[in-house]
Structure 1
Amino acid sequence: MEGFSEDIINFLPDPTFAIDKNGIVVAWNHEMEAFSGIPAEEMIGKGNYEYSIWIFGKPRKILIDYVLHQDIITLKKIYPHLLIEGQKIFSEFTMTLSDGSLLYFWITASPILDSHGSIIGAIESIRDVTHQKKSQIKLMESQKYIGDIFNFLPDATFVIDLDEKVTMWNKAMEDITGVPSEKIIGKGEYEYAIPFYGIPKPLLANLI
């Protein structure tokens, strides 16, 4: 393809492949070989969505195909977690292994343009973000656990952050003030003092 270098794609750090406007694989870099277990010579020249078989067990359209044909409407239906920046599309993908464990990937796809700006193909990269995702999940679980404990403290308690905005407002605080947590979380400007004093004013928590 005009303006496309297979040598460059081989030096990319993430598993990456490219197809031409007919859906034929024109590049399958070293990282993609290692990731998929399929040598480039076995995949270059293949079409009919064969590049998706190693993931799904059968040929089917994937992110790169919808980007190639600019079918954004269908894309949004199939991939609910999308981030679109111009013609570049980002999506999260989860793979379940035979032992039931999960792998998480961040996929990027964008069209390949010729010197006239016409689409002549598409390129897709896959990044394994399993470690980051699992760390994020553990953090969220820890925060929920702490939040559950905080919510059942017998004393009316609330927490503000460094911007003096409410981040936690427990059940006892709801009962004593009559203010539900969802109406006060995120509020600042000393609004949390109004249930006690009728006006916004600094409290002891603001002096720490």
Structure 2
Amino acid sequence: MKIWGYNWTKEKRGMEEEIKETTEAEDLIDTLADGVVAIDKESRIISFSEGAEHITGFTLDEVIGKQCADVFESDMCGEDCPVKISINSGEIVSNWQFHILTKDKRRIPIAVSSSPFKNAKGEIIGAIQIFRNVAEVKFLTQEVFQEKNKLQAILDSIADGVFTVDRDWKVTSFNKSAEKITGTSSEKALGKRCFEVFKSSVCQKGCPLQKTLKTGKPISGYEIEILTKGNQRLPVSVSTALLKDKEDKIIGGVETFRDLSKIKQLTEELKERYS
């Protein structure tokens, strides 16, 4: 994660030095598919990860020093901006969804989380925003069983794990990222009941996919732990939706999940750094 060299005020220079010293965290950030942006109290962008470049189409040099509202051009850039809320209140904002404009003026939906960034004295000097493009997931949820062969390539290109189940909880599809995150191949997962694959503490009680099938309401950003093939506990963020056929009949459910271990690790490193 590259840090902008700029003639800041004393407070901003202090923030620059503190971020620069966290080199391991910076390297970790650039391994994330999510976009990560650091913003100072004047709403200026002071760092911009490779994931952010990929999602928005902007390069680091094009955005550094600019007002974040001028870059993202979002419908949430006013008083409801999650970054402003984090800076002004000190609160963490999780999984807000809205739209931004990319460099080529495409309007894309993103899911955003932001948290205040503090110096060694515990003073809020900015915010870190993590965001991801959810357009692929939204598209997949609507189209997964239509033209299945064409969509398989899209399914396997999504960074999030995606699987579908029928009304008997048997896994009917399992993408490449799901294989990578869980350590279980699609051949092993297909046909098994989902709780036999994920072995989560909420599988028998409190399952988010079960709630969606029962209520008809999607769930977004639900954090749980699963057991990988190697019996490693892994934190994941889960979103669920109904799966319907062309006659609008419910035929199962779709769940997307992403590995939170790197983000959790980054959070712990930042806590240790500034506690």
Q: What TM-score results when the alignment is normalised by the length of structure 1?
A: 0.48
Which structure: greater strand fraction? 2
The structure whose Rg is larger is: 1
Q: What TM-score results when the alignment is normalised by the length of structure 2?
A: 0.38
